[in-house]
Amino acid sequence: MPALPFVVELTRDLIRLDTTNPPGEEHLAVELVERLLRDANIDYARYESEPGRPNLVARVKGRGEAPPLLLQGHVDVVTTVNQDWRHRPFGGDIIDGYLWGRGALDMKSGVAMMVGALIRAQARGGAAGDLVLAVLADEEAGGICGARWLVDAHPELFTGIRHAIGESGGVALHVGGRRFYPIMVSEKRGCQMLVTLRGPGGHGSVPAHGGAMAKLGNLLTRLDAGRLPVHITTPVRHQLEGMRDALDEPLRSRIGALLDPARADAALAELGALSRGLDAALHNTVNATIVSGGVKINVIPSEVQVQLDGRLLPGFGPEDMVRELREAVGSEPEIEVLLVGPAQPEVDLSQFELFASVLKEADSGCVPVPSLVTGGTDARHFARLGIRTYGFLPLNIPPDFNSSPTIHAADERVPVSALEFGAECVYEAAMRYRG
């Protein structure tokens, strides 16, 4: 068998290390990266807030012609428990041109691209500015031991850095015969809430109507039946305009309708599978995730609590979420905000053309567009240091493969050829960056 390309081999080796968080065990992946950096004569150091949960920071000196550029990625992964995988989740198997396993997309392949770019830059004598690699722990649990702690405890490591390359952007999106590459320029932030519903308790043998359990049913039904209001934020407007202008009818008009808040929800219904991500990008969203109430089968509970996972668009705060939620579920439920992620900075598009030009050269005829990531990444922590992250880990996946449903789910996999494509794009962007 011929030797595998560096990015494929490293991704496979990282997948084979079980860094499921919890407990994390990110030291397994860090040790592997350390060996590669040592062999390439690249300086690095560990920064550890808890035993076995290290973060690694490495630096390749540049020519002093540009600010430093941060390449940041995490090596922890989510659980595979209660998932029905067709191939071993930690096997790193290559089958029919795909590399299978947890982390193939989120985001051990991205870390492999970044490590490869750093080693190539070192061999070439450096980029215009320093390249700083951060291999991070704990992203899947909020970055408590990872990016958040690193930013709080060692901000000096990132002095002078204005921009970063991170996850959640660059995967090909096939629409209407065109290839779009959404490049993440902003993300939503979490807004966790607790809803309390009350009613008369009693003996389970006596019919009960209108109590806490009935109110729970009404709450869940209302949440399921509708959406919160439409909001057109800056990154989403840029994305939709770019897609609209590149498409033919009828998709051109359907995408264009999303730019009108009065027509957006109706237009989503005409876009099929494409509507899933755009729906979340156009609304503050909320999902019920944990319900707790009764403790004994023959006792009607007088109190039921529901935990809600809310996600806020850029420019919106928890007070907006509560107000919009009240309009959807009514005035009676008690709503308490438990935790809110850090506010996102204004969108920075200053480097978008750099990343777009790299993609256009690598994939002629493609259409790069700015995008909003509807989840959260470690970018929010680095933003507190003034660092703006671009989600740019390109994968030129084929039209018949939709990668998104496999992230955090069974059968996560990535085309081997797409890894080689992405590694080249990340390297070119890092070498061309001028700040």
Residue 323 to residues 18, 97, 210, Cα–Cα distance (Å):
42, 49, 24
Q: Which residues contact 231 (CB under 8 A, 6 or more apart)?
A: 261, 282, 283, 284, 313, 316
**Angle CA 371–351–117, to nearest 5:** 95
Alpha-carbon gap, residue 393 to 107, rounded angstroms: 9
Report residue 136's pLDDT band, with 50, 70 and 90 as the boundaries: very high
Are 228 and 238 a contacting pair, CB within 8 Å?
no
Are 412 and 102 a contacting pair, CB within 8 Å?
yes
Query: Rounded mean pLDDT of the chain?
Result: 96
28 HSE (CA, 13 A, CB side): 16
What dihedral angle (degrees, nearest 10) is formed by the CA atoms of 19, 22, 23, 24?
30
Whether residue 359 is predicted with pLDDT greater than 90 in this model: the reply is: yes
3-class DSSP string for the chain? CCCCCHHHHHHHHHHCCCCECCCCCCHHHHHHHHHHHHHCCCEEEEEECCCCCEEEEEEECCCCCCCCEEEEEECCECCCCCCCCCCCCCCCCEECCEEECCCCCCCHHHHHHHHHHHHHHHHCCCCCCCEEEEEECCHHHCCCCCHHHHHHHCHHHHCCCCEEEECCCCECEEECCEEEEEEEEEECEEEEEEEEEECCCEECCCCCCCCHHHHHHHHHHHHHHCCCCECCCHHHHHHHHHHHHHCCCCHHHHHHHCCCCCCHHHHHCCCHHHHHHHHHHHECEEEEEEEECCCCCCEECCEEEEEEEEEECCCCCHHHHHHHHHHHHCCCCEEEEEEECCCCCCCCCCCHHHHHHHHHHHCCCCEEEEEEECCCCCHHHHHHHCCEEEECCCECCCCCCCCHHHCCCCCCEEEHHHHHHHHHHHHHHHHHCCC
**Residue 157 amino acid letter:** L
Whether residue 2 is predicted with pLDDT greater than 80 in this model: the reply is: no
387 HSE (CA, 13 A, CB side): 29
Whether residue 344 is predicted with pLDDT greater than 90 in this model: the reply is: no
Residue among 19, 33, 164, 172 nearest 106 (CA): 19
The strand pair at 98-100 and 299-300 is best described as unpaired
Whether the ω angle into residue 89 lies within 30 degrees of 0, i.e. cis, is no
Whether residue 282 is predicted with pLDDT greater than 60 in this model: the reply is: yes
Q: Where do the domains of the chain lie, and which CATH numbers do they carry?
A: 6-185+344-432 (3.40.630.10), 188-340 (3.30.70.360)
Whether residue 340 is predicted with pLDDT greater than 70 in this model: the reply is: yes
Report residue 238's pLDDT band, with 50, 70 and 90 as the boundaries: very high
pLDDT at 101: 98
Whether residue 1 is predicted with pLDDT greater than 60 in this model: the reply is: no
**What average pLDDT does the segment 265-289 reach?**
95
pLDDT cut 70: percent of the chain above it: 100
Whether residue 156 is predicted with pLDDT greater than 90 in this model: the reply is: yes
Alpha-carbon gap, residue 403 to 98, rounded angstroms: 12
pLDDT at 3: 78
Whether residue 111 is predicted with pLDDT greater than 90 in this model: the reply is: yes
Dihedral pair phi/psi, residue 352, rounded to 5°: -60, -40
Reported as a single tens digit per residue, the pLDDT across 59-102 is 999 999 999 999 999 999 999 999 999 999 999 999 999 999 99
Whether residue 320 is predicted with pLDDT greater than 80 in this model: the reply is: yes
